[in-house]
Amino acid sequence: DAADKGNYEHFMMKEIQEQPQAIGMLLGHYLQEEGKEDMQKLRELLSTCSRLHIVACGSAYHAGMTGKYLIENLAGVAVEVELASEFRYRRPVLNEGEVVLVISQSGETADTVAALREAKVRGCRTMAIVNAQGSTIARESDLVLYTYAGPEISVATTKGYSTQLVVLDLIAVELASLKERITDAEKNKLHGELMQIPAKIRQILEHKEKLQRAANECAGKKQVFFIGRSLDYTLALEAALKLKEISYIHAEAYAAGELKHGTIALIEQDSLVVAIETQQELYDKIHSNIVEVQSRGAKIFAVGFEAAKKEKETLELEYRIPEIQPFFAPSLAIIPFQLFAYYISVAKGIDVDKPRNLAKSVTVE
């Protein structure tokens, strides 16, 4: 029974642990016979798409940011990402041939539903990445790609978000092949990399005690700065939100290159800076940001690939994720942050599954 915690103390931990299976099922669906029709419909919808607008709220918006970086990089298709609450009221420019993609775990978020309806009124073709089958957004979109994550009970999303990421990965690869930016062999190779995600998440979950230790060391912090570049920045947005939601620690994500433009003024002795490092071409850049904040007294918690580690670097805390094609690193890098936030929440005695003031689905404005 999905609404049963089983042996877990909280739904959030149960749902964190369900991610390898959920992602495995979703890949099984889309990469095999039963998902062929969805992929064909996707190709038809996107074949004349000149620009994609991704619209969502909360974590789904963060998944959309990652989707933008991936789709632009892999497929060369222009993508705008926007918060549904802004999109619905500001009359964005929507041209013929553009597609609006909404992302929503529940399929019922009021602003996202309204944004979808606005897109339809404005004559756009629409598609949705949704978890809840038969939900309003699923019913009203021209094409639905389900995430097949199963019911998510914990208010802070985990498997809902990580399955959205994988559907976006599949869209990026499909679009890249449609636009002839990759060969069939390259497409198969990327699919092969995606298939490794479940086992690699399992490896991370086997070492969760390391994150519990990191969490215990950081539970007393009043604020945490998350920095990253490119896909690591988009992941930082979600990592910071997870921490805020369930630990009540003030956390913000910054594009590391923006630190100098104001935020570095906040860094002082013992400030905690979480640095994400999975994008090889940017290792040098993120390292200089680490040095900049360290020289102002910050403590670093680095999360990324082993290969990102610099010789003789001093890091107070670090967590190394298994190697994977860097496009798909966010799917692995989010796991330590879900656990980190979870353990801080538990250490502080917070109601992990039902943090104060938050709702699972914001169905009224």
Where in the sequence numbering do the catalytic residues fall? Answer: 360
CA torsion, ordered 145, 42, 232, 357, to nearest 10 deg: -30
- Identify which of residues 124 and 129 has a Cβ nearer to ligand G6P in the complex: 129
- Identify which of residues 134 and 262 has a Cβ nearer to ligand G6P in the complex: 134
Residue among 49, 52, 60, 144 that touches ligand G6P (CB under 6 A)? 60
Percentages helix, strand, coil for the chain (3-state, rounded to 5) are 55, 15, 30
SS3 102: strand
* C-alpha span between 243 and 218 (Å, rounded): 11
Query: Would you count residue 289 as binding ligand G6P (CB under 6 A)?
Result: no
| Least distance CB 263 / ligand G6P (angstroms) | 24
Residue among 112, 162, 163, 247 that touches ligand G6P (CB under 6 A)? 112
| Least distance CB 249 / ligand G6P (angstroms) | 17
| Least distance CB 358 / ligand G6P (angstroms) | 5
* C-alpha span between 164 and 67 (Å, rounded): 9
- Identify which of residues 178 and 362 has a Cβ nearer to ligand G6P in the complex: 362
The residue number with the shortest CB distance to ligand G6P is 58
- Listed residue (49, 54, 132, 126) closest to 86, CA to CA: 54
| Least distance CB 12 / ligand G6P (angstroms) | 11
* C-alpha span between 196 and 190 (Å, rounded): 10
* C-alpha span between 131 and 145 (Å, rounded): 9
Q: Which two tokens stand for residue 63?
A: 């998944």
Q: Distance between alpha carbon 339 and the CA centroid of its chain, in Å?
A: 15
SS3 280: helix
Query: Would you count residue 106 as binding ligand G6P (CB under 6 A)?
Result: yes
Query: Would you count residue 126 as binding ligand G6P (CB under 6 A)?
Result: no
- Tell me which stretch binds ligand G6P (CB under 6 A): 4-12, 221-229, 248-256, 357-365: 357-365
Q: Which x/- pattern over 129-168 shows residues binding ligand G6P (rule: CB under 6 A)?
A: --------------------------xxx-----------
CA distances from 311 to 82, 117, 286, 295, 306 (A): 40, 53, 14, 17, 11
| Least distance CB 139 / ligand G6P (angstroms) | 15
- Identify which of residues 59 and 294 has a Cβ nearer to ligand G6P in the complex: 59
* C-alpha span between 133 and 160 (Å, rounded): 13
| Least distance CB 229 / ligand G6P (angstroms) | 24
* C-alpha span between 336 and 52 (Å, rounded): 31
| Residues in CB range of 72: below 8 A, 6 or more apart | 78, 79
* C-alpha span between 328 and 333 (Å, rounded): 9
Q: Which x/- pattern over 20-59 shows residues binding ligand G6P (rule: CB under 6 A)?
A: -------------------------------------xxx
- Tell me which stretch binds ligand G6P (CB under 6 A): 38-46, 106-114, 253-261, 269-277: 106-114
Contact positions vs ligand G6P (CB under 6 A):
57-60, 104-106, 109, 112, 155-157, 358, 360-362
